[in-house]
Structure formats: structure tokens, C-alpha cells
Amino acid sequence: MRRPRSCRLFTLLLVFLSCISASAQHLTLGPQGLVNARARTLRDPTSLSRGVRSYAYLTRVGGVAFDQVASPARALRFSSLTLDYRPERSNGKRLVLTLDGQEVSAPIYDWQLIPIAKFADSPHNACFTLFGELDDLAQQRSVQARGGRVFGYHPAFVNTLMGLRLFQLDSLIIHPYSHDLIKSDGRYVLGAGETRPNLRANESGRAAFVDFFRPIAYSDFPINQKQKFTSYVISDHGRSVSFDVKKGALSLTGQPGYYFWGKNPRGLNDRDKVTPLTDLSNQVSKRPSMLRVINPAVWDAGVKLMRYSAFFRYFKQKHPTQWRAFMAQIDKAPAPSPRVTTPAIMERPR
């Protein structure tokens, strides 16, 4: 039966208004505005083992990157494994594993699952960078001249909540408002399973981290402080991810780590310019609980990305035919809520 013309017009009007609302998002983090612009996506297949010793990689990509492949726990034995996306199930229960004919649940929400699966399916390991590039190079130079930053996202994380969380993960230990979450028109942008941040607890956690970090990352001088490191990468380099089945559910282990590095002024080639700061990296990386209390929502999103992308790579390597079938299901899934427009520019407050 054909719908009345007035009904069709009303439906089109609702769609039009929703599109206006999505495109008019005003994102902020503290007093800093986050601006949308046309930017190049981050497509870099460099392995982390190579990238962390490359000055070109660290200064062009850096940021957040994951490329590990998970391993089954020693006690876990199985002969068959399949993955399915069940859209008819409630959000958070749609990813289903079947081991030797036994169904296993995997607790992950669509706003995490869909972009992570697409990320693991790609040949590119870099997730996010603060060294991004705008399509308009003149605009980019203007932004950077004002002290602003340009973002770059892996294609899977463009216009996703995971993209917002990755920006905050990259700046977790350096951004003055890293204890807060991004807002859209004054309201927090939250995904399923997330709650409003406890700002008092987060601020206390950030202060504790700063007290720990300052004496090991900076040298005191009479006038100012000299930073001992040039930059860092948050990644799974040198880390491991394992999976097991406990009480009928998938169990994943592994925490992201920090790789701090310094520029060697005497270096003549790409590798010689990089000095790994191993002690600083170890000191920070072995304290994931301290990092998490700065902003649990941000850290948990990074952990989820690291663990599930590693698990998906395992499945992709061991069962390529089933993986393609699984990705066909993922590709048919609707864009998860909340709908966001990932910013490409962060401006300093004026």
C-alpha cells in the first residue's frame, strides 16, 4: 500500500533535520573547540617493530597504533572456531563465537565492534595521529601557526565514537582536560555501556599521574623544565594478547603500552635519529591502573581496541574464509550509535 504524500514528505523532513543536526555538531573538550574539516585518512602499513625505530614514522604517524596477533591460552584446546554477527540480538551480545560447536559470548558493543573489525580487516596499523594533514594545506598551515593541532584517523574510525576516544587516548597524559570527555553542544557523547565521567575522581587520578611522571620525564632548570622525551606512541609493541574461554564467555588479556623516544641530534640517517627511552617507557607502561584512573572511558576503549583487533587478526590468519564471511555480516550492519562527526582540528582557546 502506498503511503500518503504528506506522510512521505514528513519522513523526508525528519531525515533532512537529522542530517542538519549531525553536521552541526559543536564538539568541545574543556575550553578547546574541535572543528570539522576535510582531512586525509591515516593509511600506513608499517609494522610497529619497524616504525618505532624510524624517525620518519614517529614524526609523521606516531600516535596510537596496534598490530599484534593474539594467541590462545595454553590450556585452551579446540579444533574449530567461527565468528558471527547476530543483528537480532541486543546490543553488546551480537558477536558470537562458536568453538567446537559450543556457543561462546563476546561482550562488546556495536560502536566498538564494527570499527574495530574493519580496522583489523585492513592492512593499516596506525589508528590515530596528532600529525594529521588537511586537504587544504593553506588552512593546515594557518591552524598550526596558531598553535592548533590537526588530526588523522584510520578510515575505520572516521566519524565514530571510537575515533573520539582515540584522540583522547593519544593525549591522555599531556592534555590539560584529559580527565573529561568530549561534549556535543554541551552534552556528553556517550556510547552504550558508558556513563558520565566522575570528574573529581578523574582529576585526582590525573594529579597523581603528574606527580609520578614529572620527576622521571622532565629535568629541572632554574628557569623552566626541559622535556627528556621528544614524543611517544601508545601501542601493543612488545606487548601480548591472549584469549581464553571462561564461564561461557570470551576472555582477553593485555594492556597498551607507551613507547617514549628522544631525537638524537647526531643521528645522520632515519634510524640513528631515534633514541628509545626504555626506562621511561617501562616506568609508565607497567602502571595501567594509574593511567586508567585519569579517564576510565578513554583507557577502556583503547584496551578494547588492542585486545579485539589482535583476536580478530588471529581469526583472520587462521580462518580466512570464515573471516570474509564474518566481514560480510559486519559490512551489512548499520552505522552504530551515537552518530558523530570526528573533528580534524583542535584550536587553542582564544
Nearest-angstrom CA–CA distance, 302 and 234 = 9
> Across-strand partners of 131?
150
Dihedral of CA 92/315/68/44: which sign? negative
Report residue 221's pLDDT band, with 50, 70 and 90 as the boundaries.
Answer: low
Residue predicted with more confidence, 112 or 228: 112
- Looking at residue 33, its pLDDT comes to 86
Mean pLDDT of the chain: 91
Q: Which residues contact 46 (CB under 8 A, 6 or more apart)?
A: 54, 57, 61, 125, 126
Nearest-angstrom CA–CA distance, 296 and 201: 10
Helices (H), 24-150: 48-51, 55-60, 110-121, 137-145
Residues belonging to the chain: 350
301 or 33: which leads in pLDDT: 301
pLDDT of residue 8 exceeding 80, the answer is no
Q: Cα 273 to chain center, whole Å?
A: 27
Q: What is the pLDDT of residues 59-75, one digit of tens each?
A: 999 899 999 999 999 99
Kindly give, in sequence order, each residue whose CB lies less than 8 Å from that of residue 105, ignoring residues fewer than 6 positions away.
93, 96, 97, 248, 249, 250
- pLDDT interval class at 14 (50, 70, 90): very low
Query: Is pLDDT at 287 greater than 70 in this prediction?
Result: yes
Percent of the chain scoring above 70 in pLDDT: 91
Mind listing the pLDDT tens digit for each residue in 112-136?
999 999 999 999 999 999 999 999 9
Which pLDDT does position 233 carry in this prediction? 98
pLDDT beyond 50 at 4:
no
At 6 the pLDDT is 42
Which of the two residues, 326 and 350, has the higher pLDDT score?
326
